[in-house]
Amino acid sequence: MRVSLDIVLDHLLKTSTIEGSMTMVLVREAIGQTLRSARTSQGRTLRDVARDARVSLGYLSEVERGQKEASSELLNAICMALGLSLSGVFSDVSAELKSREGVTLTVVDAA
């Protein structure tokens, strides 16, 4: 007997691995990846963007690595420093998370 389950989570998304264990993908990690991608595609350094956003270099680095959740004010300042709209970043993050949110698990009954 096979049972398929679609799992959809609001803020934390899980993806199955080959071993069947679960790995969580956090929204803050997706935001950080989006910001880092924008910064590097512009050929800008952390120092440059941190200065323009008026945040510390270390803090910006932690946001990009998904280790810190930026407040809406700081996130907006970082977006402005990158020439991005906050809504555009959220749209990109939403699309990335949507591509990962539908996970199908298959349970096989050995009996």
Average pLDDT, the chain: 79
Query: Alpha-carbon distance 35 to 59, whole Å?
Result: 13
Does the pLDDT value for residue 4 go beyond 70?
Answer: no
Q: 49: closest CA among 25, 14, 84?
A: 84
Q: Structural domain boundaries of the chain?
A: 27-100
Q: 38: closest CA among 77, 74, 92?
A: 92
pLDDT in tens, 25-42: 689 999 999 999 999 999
CATH topology of domain 27-100: 434 Repressor (Amino-terminal Domain) (1.10.260)
Tracing tokens 């199955």 back to the chain, one arrives at: 16
Question: Which residue did the predictor score with more confidence, 42 or 6?
Answer: 42
Q: What is the pTM of this model?
A: 0.71
